[in-house]
A and B are shown apart, each in its own frame.
Chain A
Amino acid sequence: MHEFLVFTISGLTTAGIYAISASGLTLTYVTTGVFNIAHGATGMLAAFTYWQLAVGWGLPAPLALPLCVLVAAPLFGLLLERLVMRRLAGAPESTRLVVTVAVLVVLVSLVQWLWDPSTFRRSQELFAGKGFHLGTISVPYNDVLVLGVAAAVAVLLWLLLHHSRAGIAMRARVDDPSLATLNGARPSTSARLAWMTGTALAALAGILIAPKLTMSAIPLTLLIVNAYAAAVIGRLRSLPMTFVGALVVGLAADYAVGYLPKVHYGQQYLRGALPVVPVLVLLVALLVLRASRLRGRPALAVREITPTPTWGGGLGFCAAVVFGAVIAATTMSKADLFASTSMWGLAIVGVSMVPLVGYAGRISLCQLSFAGIGAAVVAHAGNGGNPAALLLAAAVAAVVGAVVSLPALRLSGIYLALLTGAFAVTLDNWIFQLPSFTVAGHRFDLFQGGTLSADRFRVGGFHTDSAKTFFITGAVLFALAALAVVAVRRSELGQRLIAVKESPAASATLGMNVRLTTLAVFTLSAGLAGLGGGVYASAVRSTTADSFSFFTGLTLLLLVVVAGVSSIGSGLAAGLLLGTAAISSAAGDSATRVTATLAGLAALALAANPNGLIPSVLRPAYEPVRRVPAVLVGSVGIVTGLWVLRLAHVVDGDVLMLGILVVAVAAPLLARSLVDRASGTVAVPADTVASEAAATAATATAAATTTTTATATAAAAAPVAAATGVGGGVVASGPDEGLSGPLEWLGFDAPVSQTDLDVLDARLALAGVDESRLGEVRVGAA
């Protein structure tokens, strides 16, 4: 009984901290519509700042605490709102999520940069652990203070939201932002207030929870993630229910700490489950709450485009990838090549996100965990290089993916992200760390007590043991995976995915089985991720569970999204950045931090352009090359020639690199000028297009349109001109190229002049509609 009371008191304290954190999260979510995945990271940053002030510089706690919570944190919130969150208005939910993930990644890297992770730090409880005795139980003053603060936060928030005009305006803004403006409530004021309060609460929670473990960026961030469970129990809306949720999570966590070690059976398996308990609560909460309660907010405006890849484009891309891989494999040094083989595995994992995140619009944070499963399968079944192990890896991951997706079918948006995140954390912290266990007479040993070793596969007499052959094989496997994704997009399933993403309701009313479609895409992308994990494992030969951690998964997701999650090339980009020596040679020891920071910073830019770099910058730039065969053949010829010269040791590696670079820059420029000359007249005033496009919600391709070739414009303008009879200034030239692509690329970037409008009006019998001609108009229209 005594023990029970002790755990209850400490559980209540934990609950109080979770409640503070979760209420801040809920507050920012309901008022700004942004679910701040980085909430925990903000708290972590505050904890480090507090440590620096109180322990590092020896400031007294009564000074350091208000300085952190009431000054630094609100300022940081203000900065966050100003620099990042403000631009997210009207962005789709997936973009808003990814941008906050980016903030998390940046904050974690920043903290690891400022406070060397290898130094041991410990934050102190307030009152230096002193307390009083209640009967036989000692109660620390710290715990009493935490509970008091939590209660005060509850009351203050309630007063703010229901009894102050600023608070009511915050809630009004959630209901209808423009109506709130019409009522005289300034939009920026509400958002600013929300972010400042939310950040202050995150900071308070972070500082209070830090003494419970050593100061380390990722565990602290993830520990506060547990508050998400509380927020979800409150359905991200109700603050009282959030406090109840915090109570459940806090007590469950501390009872687990107290009582799990007493379970004698299977102790070695349960030990790892301790930190996962709140995550399990989150899983249960997501599963138990009724689906209707968990419907995410509808996307305000779809700014994303999902162009359909053509077979020609897909095959061309894959041929280029394999060609490039052959050049790289034959010219790179052995050490560099070995350091780069892992890129293909990561690239396949990256491309596995394209159907799920890009096409279906479902954010999954556990793709890398599926890869971990694939890696484990290959390590166990691939002895002697049996290539069937890769297929088995894909199959096992697909099955796991299907099982995970079953509860996820009714979820979308943030709830899905949280569920998959919870799954990834569970796998990462518990399942992958399990010692060997036996089920039905078969012995499982997932990560073989830490390190996995895998053989490189061989088919008949074909061995992939050498780095060279493995590199090229990896490229071929990636190309196949990319083609599979192209096939999916072009199939009926692909159309269904887009339909379900853009309007689940309409899809359901059309008789489409939304759940089956979702299940299919989950299974497919988990399978691809498993394959990627398998390739990764055999590429690096020995790997640990760390390679498949939740945090690495976030970085991979960010890279893919930044590159353009609807493009198969995004997988390659992620693989290049994460899996090669490119960054580590430039940045040395802090390579992972550099990558994470870069990815995070780039992802912050997503707010302005949710499509990513490939569809908005790269593809339009290289589009002309495809249209001018001479340039295409010429550049391939030059590169091949340089490569042959390099193989014959006539030129060295630097010349080859330089040559490829020159071709890569010159080819699109040359092709565009040729195309321009061929099509003649149409010139798109870039600045007009940019400003117009920015004004239209639908044209997130602003950058694309400015760089789009005149060919596309001319070809697009031709049918429009023909249809309206405004042929005048536009010369329709060149064959109709089988216009494919979003509408924005087709005819809507040609400037519409007043003359065009007048001609249109005349055609539609609308010109000069006024009192005197009403009768005439009626005749004209009939």
Chain B
Amino acid sequence: MTAVLPAGATAGPRPGAGAAPGGAGAPLVETRGLRARYGRVEVLHGVDLAVGAGQVLAVLGPNGAGKSTLLRVIAGLHVASAGDVVLGGRRATGADPVDLARRGLCLIPEGRGVFPSLTVRENLRMMTYRGGRSRADVEERAVARFPKLGQRLHQPAGTMSGGEQQMLALARAIVADPAVLLLDELSMGLAPLVVAELYASVRAIAAENVTIIVVEQFAAAVLEVADTAAVLVEGRIAAAGRPADIAGSLSGAYLGGRPARDENSPDDASGAARPGRRRPGMTR
């Protein structure tokens, strides 16, 4: 890990994948009573979340629940109207997104997180802002993770398939060794097979001790990866806990009372749960 969050993040122990972080002290990413609004419309009404270092938190919820806003506020793109974002024990509310990005907090926004008219190589080059890595090093690491990208270095990113673009976005995110990765709807508009492949990569990244907050509308894929999960409904945390527990209560909170179908069918949900691997780091 070369990228570093504010002092607290590195000062505390960085628990490995199998370790129980219960006693490890402060969580790496925390929101306290976070409120956010667009003009007069408040979309987050006091959100409390906490993610321990190296953990994966899944934030689920229907359209318009405020999931993307939550990530944007954490990344500094949107200023919270009240409450705090705490990174590594330090208050980081309203920090400049550029500073956050350079210190190892990486958001892959909704849609395709690539620059369509830049070539793959130039897209990767953008990442050398973080961590001071050389161009060759960055390319090598990206291609090692996603060999497909190696054949496309000179192609404009916008001409690749949706799945490849997300791969590029992920690659660009990880080559700089982020401490925190925020993923917004990786699955959007992609075939299930591609989604599975992407989440396999996410799991691999998680195994390297990166703290991840992943936002999804469709729960199945992400619950397999997550250590903890929260359901966001209308700007409030409606449920939080281990993925297994969440999967059970999802149909009510999240489908607005409709009977569960496809992704959330009982089979999937029970298969998705990996109870007990780590203790949830959630508050509230």
Please give the residue numbers on chain A whose beta carbons come within 8 Å of chain B beta carbons, in ascending order: 162, 165, 168-169, 171-172, 174-176, 178-187, 692-693, 695-696, 698-699, 748, 751-752, 757, 761, 766, 769-771, 774-775, 777-778, 781-782
Contact = CB atoms under 8 A, between A and B. Distances in A.
Interface stretch (B202-210, B213-221, B234-242): B234-242
B234 A766 contact: yes
Contacts of A168: 118, 122, 125-126
B245 to A, nearest CB: 9
B239 A774 contact: yes
A162 B117 contact: no
B104 to A, nearest CB: 10
4 tightest Cβ-Cβ pairs between the two chains A and B: A696-B39, A184-B129, A778-B257, A175-B115
Contacts of A187: 98
Nearest to A764: B234
14 contacts: A168-B126, A171-B122, A175-B116, A179-B114, A181-B101, A182-B101, A696-B39, A698-B39, A752-B42, A771-B238, A771-B239, A774-B253, A777-B252, A777-B253
Nearest to B42: A757
Nearest to A777: B252
B183 to A, nearest CB: 12
B113 interface: yes
Contact of A184 (B40, B98, B122): B98
Contacts of A696: 38-40
A283 to B, nearest CB: 28
B125 A775 contact: no
B97 interface: yes
Interface residues of B, number: 43
B39 A165 contact: no
B252 A778 contact: yes
A180 B172 CA distance: 12
Contacts of A179: 109, 113-115
Contacts, number: 114
B126 A172 contact: yes
Contacts of B107: 182
Nearest to A693: B39
A179 B184 CA distance: 12
Contacts of B237: 770
Given A172-B115, A175-B115, A775-B252, A183 B127 contact: yes
A168 B257 CA distance: 48
A777 B62 CA distance: 15
Given A162-B122, A175-B115, A770 B238 contact: yes
B117 A171 contact: yes
B117 A769 contact: no
A769 B122 contact: no
Given A169-B126, A175-B118, A182 B77 contact: yes
Given A168-B125, A171-B118, A770-B239, A183 B256 contact: no
A699 B39 CA distance: 9
Interface of B: 38-42, 45, 75, 77, 97-98, 101-102, 106-109, 113-118, 122-123, 125-130, 172, 233-234, 236-240, 249, 252-253, 256-257
A397 to B, nearest CB: 42
Given A761-B234, A778-B257, 11 more contacts: A168-B122, A171-B122, A179-B114, A180-B115, A182-B75, A182-B77, A696-B39, A698-B39, A769-B236, A770-B239, A771-B240
Contacts of B77: 178, 181-182
Contacts of B233: 766, 769
A182 B109 contact: yes
Nearest to A688: B40
B39, B113, B114 pick with most chain A CB within 10 angstroms? B39
Contacts of B38: 695-696
A184 B106 CA distance: 9
Contacts of B256: 778, 781
A178 B107 CA distance: 10
Contact of A774 (B101, B240, B249): B249
B118 A181 contact: no
Contact of B98 (A186, A761, A771): A186
A165 B132 CA distance: 12
Contacts of B114: 179
A774 B127 contact: no
Contacts of B130: 183-184
B122 A183 contact: no
Contact of A748 (B40, B42, B45, B125): B40
Contacts of B236: 769-770
Given A179-B115, A781-B257, A165 B129 contact: yes
Contact of B128 (A165, A693, A769, A770): A165
Nearest to B102: A184
Contacts of B97: 181-182
Contacts of B126: 165, 168-169, 172, 180, 183-185
A176 B39 contact: no
Given A182-B75, A182-B101, A771-B249, A692 B238 contact: no
B107 to A, nearest CB: 5
Nearest to A761: B234
Contacts of A185: 98, 126, 129
A273 B247 CA distance: 76
Contacts of B239: 770-771, 774
Contacts of B102: 184
A172 B75 contact: no
A467 B97 CA distance: 64
Contact of B40 (A692, A769, A774, A777): A692
Nearest to B78: A178
B101 A184 contact: yes
A178 B129 contact: no
B118 A692 contact: no
Contacts of A771: 238-240, 249
B238 to A, nearest CB: 5
A247 to B, nearest CB: 25
Contacts of A695: 38-39
Contacts of B253: 769, 774, 777
B98 A181 contact: yes
A774 B39 contact: no
A777 B38 CA distance: 26
A175 B117 CA distance: 7
Contacts of B122: 162, 168, 171-172
Contacts of B240: 771
Contacts of A184: 98, 101-102, 126, 129-130
Contacts of A165: 125-126, 128-129
B234 A769 contact: yes
B128 to A, nearest CB: 6
Given A183-B101, A777-B252, A781-B257, A769 B238 contact: yes
A775 to B, nearest CB: 6
A751 B234 CA distance: 20
Contacts of B127: 183
A162, A183, A748 pick with most chain B CB within 10 angstroms? A183
Contacts of A781: 256-257
Nearest to B237: A770
Contacts of A699: 39
Nearest to A174: B117
Contacts of A748: 39-40
Nearest to B115: A175
A781 B254 CA distance: 12
Contacts of B238: 769-771, 774
A748 B39 CA distance: 10
A773 to B, nearest CB: 9
Contacts of B98: 181, 184-187
Contacts of B39: 692-693, 695-696, 698-699, 748
